Amino acid sequence: MLKIIDLFDLSHSAAGEWLKGITWPWEALEGITDTILRLGRDPLRKLGPGDRLVGAAVNALAQGVTPVHLVTGIAAGLRFAHAGDPVAQALQARIATEGIEQVASEVTGFDATSPLLAQVIARYAALG
């Protein structure tokens, strides 16, 4: 909660009240299933700067939090190679010809010297 307080300049009590308001009716999710194809489809869009995983990882790092699990998600997205997804197939072809470092930097927007890029590359290799 400390990072939320810092990020939004909230008092501890205001942050606590805000968190109390976050509820999710988990029972509403019964019967809903997301396939791997649906979740991974179009990795170029989902791994873009400011989107889902990459934007959250940048925000976490800015708050002093190492985004270990977000890095794993980014690396997994870069490995997504479903035959039914032409965008994923094109991404894999680029990685094969240009190399993971170049493609990951271009897709995510991470600078070549970014600690996040280094973490993604290491995790990508570990997932191989």
In the chain, where the domains are located:
1-32, 33-127
Q: How many CB atoms lie within 10 A of CB 73?
A: 20
Helical ranges in the chain per DSSP H? 2-8, 12-20, 36-40, 43-46, 52-62, 68-79, 86-98, 100-108, 115-127
> Alpha carbon 127 to chain centroid distance?
15
Query: For residue 94, what pLDDT is reported?
Result: 98
Confidence band for 14, pLDDT divided at 50, 70 and 90: confident
Q: According to the model, what pLDDT value does residue 1 have?
A: 47
Report whether CATH 1.10.1040.10 matches the domain 33-127.
yes
pTM here is 0.78
Per-residue pLDDT tens digits for 88-113? 999 999 999 999 999 999 999 999 99
* 34-43, 99-108, 117-126: range with lowest mean pLDDT: 34-43
The pLDDT-based confidence of 33 (bands split at 50, 70, 90) is confident
Digit-coded pLDDT (tens) for 72-92: 999 999 999 999 999 999 999
